[in-house]
Amino acid sequence: MSERFLVEAVNDALHVEMERDSSVMVMGEDVGVLGGVFRATAGLQERFGADRCVDTPLAEAGILGTAVGLCMAGWRPVCEMQYDAFSYPALDQLINHVGRYRWRTRGGMEFPLTIRMPYGGGVRAPELHDDSPETYYVHTPGVKVAIPSTPADAKGLLAAAIRDPDPVVVLEPKLYYRAAKEEVPDGEHVVPLGQARIAREGSDLTIVAYGAMVHVALAAAEAVGDEASCEVLDLRSLKPLDEDGLLASVVKTGRVVVVQEAPRVCGFAAEVVAVLAERAIFDLRGPVIRVTGYDVPYPYWQIEDAYMPSVERVVDAVRRVLSA
Amino acid sequence: MIRVLPVEGDLRRVIGDGEKIPDGEVDGLGADELLALHRNLVLLRTYDERSVIYHRQGRIGTYAIFWNHEAMQVGSVFALADRDWIFPAYRESAIGLLRGMPVSTVLSWWRGHPAGWWNPRDFNVASICVPIATQVPHAVGFAWGSRLKGEDRVALTLFGDGATSEGAFHEAATFAGVMKAPVVLFCNNNYWAISTPLSKQTAAETLVAKAAGYGIPGVRVDGGDVLAVYEATRDAVERARTGDGPTFIEAVSYRAAPHATADDPSLYVDAERVEEERENECVGRYERYLRRLGVLTDGHAEAVRSEALELMRAGIAAAEAEPPADPSLVFEHAYADPPPSQARDLAELKRILGT
């Protein structure tokens, strides 16, 4: 075990996986000499050379498009998108090819690529450095999505993504890149996709969250205090979704608040609520309430705190469910 | 000995017109190779013409016609080794036939049947790419990745004039130049993107001019001249193999047929120009050239045509004899390791279908 920041755990995972498998390569803007704008890829080019840690042209669709061809040539590319909102040009490749090519070849070819990017707000950044784009990815057939909230999961989920035979998008909560050092297993560490984690045990209500919002959910559970015993379920992976883990928690508590940073309409919280409506309606003892970003463009940073789901908003939602 | 004749600026040509423009020849091509090129041209021409008929008979779905594009497809592929890969667009749907792919496979693709979805590794031919220009970065990544692995493989990707307006082309060509990828970017400029003429596609005087912006050498050839296409691609493949990186080839042609079976070109084309182009179409041009050389006889031409027609007859029969597709293929292969929800969905589908 070593104490590491979340971004250091990402870096550790890349070192370990590149050491373990010589077909793993890292590519992206400024990932080589600079080691990434957040230093997530620091030291990789020195260690593995410029052919396996590649500084690419500033072209996100080109990064993902050539990564498809690299897979066909036998590589396992790990593509860094420098920021959440900068990944949108690559959606064409993601939707039309990354998610379809395996199916299109009837399983003849695999596309074990990973796309990783820092996501989310609260970092006082210029416009379009703050998005939570997970819905676009989760909605794309053929693509899996993981979002860690802790340093250990950041390492383990990224390792799982790199080893997975399917394309996986990993969103890393940049607000927590260097928030706190936590224990991270040394060497090989894999957290399987599709296994949610109980971040806090409770019996009266489940707060479902992922990524940065797990921290808000935990703070809200504390703030609720003796009013209710809140469980916090960290989904960790949105696809595959750990429906059994979700249902087990809801059977126990009967009350649910779902928190997501992304705008509300058709966001992943809506999917969680739909799963509960289909599979847990008779276990529920009250309405399921979503706490999400608002359906507006992510705002200027002087007022971004008013947009972000806050501890106060989550506590308010918990009280509404409890009193219903 | 290569004779490159200056027609329309720097357009490279080998085949003359039998009158004022003399015929050239391409070094290294003997009678056998010349006749192999002819057989390939006739195969693709027959495929295309029969496919339009099959569509009208309701035996295949909407079909993208490639009539008069055969010289570009045959000439460029002839310059490759079998280990080299081809990344086609839908206009090159039958290019796999040049690699031994069964006719029934391509027809099945146009019939929307899973038998039409091949494993690229079986023929070194990537899947037919529908979204314009998006296969170009795949070819570049494949070529670059092969070079990194020390494998001697070149990638050829084909796309149209409209594709050069797409961001995917721009980003791919940028990568190709920077990575010195062993790739041939082959543009079949047929002057039309459905109803949009080249003049509305770009203000650039030629498409080959774009190559300079990526630091890539560019060549402009007559796309109706199978020998010029072959010779230009052979040069490009040689450059790629020896580590000199990518080449952009603009093959100038003309789309003398509808975009696809669902298209009505009478709304936008110049009928006179089309008539002119049809008279000068690429298969006939090459046959006249071979006859002038004394390489092609009437009997041989007839035999090649019969052989191609027979392949098509057998191909459509085989495609139509495919058993109905299993609906569970809706799910199969979407993931190597599918999410658990998929098993539930499949069970539900089977229950509803009663299977």
Q: What is the DSSP string of A90-103?
A: GHHHIIIIITTHHH
Cβ pairs A/B, distance under 8 A:
149
User: How are beta strands B155-160 and B183-189 bridged, if at all?
Assistant: parallel
ipTM: 0.97
Report residue A205 CA to chain centroid gap. Answer: 23
**Residue with tokens 């099945």, as numbered in its chain:** B108
Q: Which residue of A has its CA nearest to B214?
A: A57
What is the tens place of the pLDDT at every residue in A26-38? 999 999 999 999 9
Chain A residues with CB under 8 Å of B137 CB are 61-62, 64-66, 68-69, 93
Who has greater pLDDT, B11 or A153?
A153
Whether the pLDDT of residue B4 is over 80: the answer is no
Whether the pLDDT of residue A185 is over 90: the answer is yes
CB hemisphere CA count around B270 (13 angstroms)? 9
Distance, CA of B271 to CA of B253 (rounded, Å)? 16
Distance, CA of A172 to CA of A165 (rounded, Å)? 21
Chain B residues with CB under 8 Å of A70 CB are 141-142, 144-145
Burial of A316 (C-beta count, 10 Å sphere; 0-12/13-18/19+)? middle
Contact A262, A134 (CB under 8 A): yes
Please count the residues of chain A.
Answer: 324
B67/chain A closest Cα distance in angstroms:
26
Contacts for B188 with CB less than 8 Å, ≥ 6 apart: B69, B72, B91, B158, B159, B160, B161, B223, B251, B253
- The stretch A157-169 carries a mean pLDDT of 98
Indicate yes or no: CB of B339 within 8 angstroms of CB of A165. no
Is there a cis peptide before residue A240, judged by omega within 30 degrees of 0? yes
Q: For the beta carbon of residue A297, count every other beta carbon within 10 angstroms.
A: 12
- The stretch B292-307 carries a mean pLDDT of 97
Task: List the single best residue of A26, A70, A275 to mutate versus B (max B Cβ within 10 A).
Answer: A70
Contacts for A247 with CB less than 8 Å, ≥ 6 apart: A276, A279, A280, A283
A108/chain B closest Cα distance in angstroms:
5
How far lies A16's CA from each of A133, A158, A264, in Å? Answer: 28, 11, 37
The pLDDT of residue A225 is 94
The pLDDT of residue B2 is 38
The pLDDT of residue B355 is 83
**Segment among A224-233, A238-247, B61-70, B267-276 with least mean pLDDT:** B267-276
Is A129 catalytic? The answer is yes
Contacts for A250 with CB less than 8 Å, ≥ 6 apart: A206, A256, A276, A280, A283, A284
What is the tens place of the pLDDT at every residue in A96-116? 999 999 999 999 999 999 999
Q: CA nearest A266: which of A135, A177, A161? A: A135
B98/chain A closest Cα distance in angstroms:
19
- The stretch B66-87 carries a mean pLDDT of 98
- The stretch B23-32 carries a mean pLDDT of 95
Give the pair of three-digit tokens for residue A60: 């996100």
The pLDDT of residue B227 is 98
Is residue B1 very low, low, confident or very high in pLDDT (cuts 50, 70, 90)?
Answer: very low
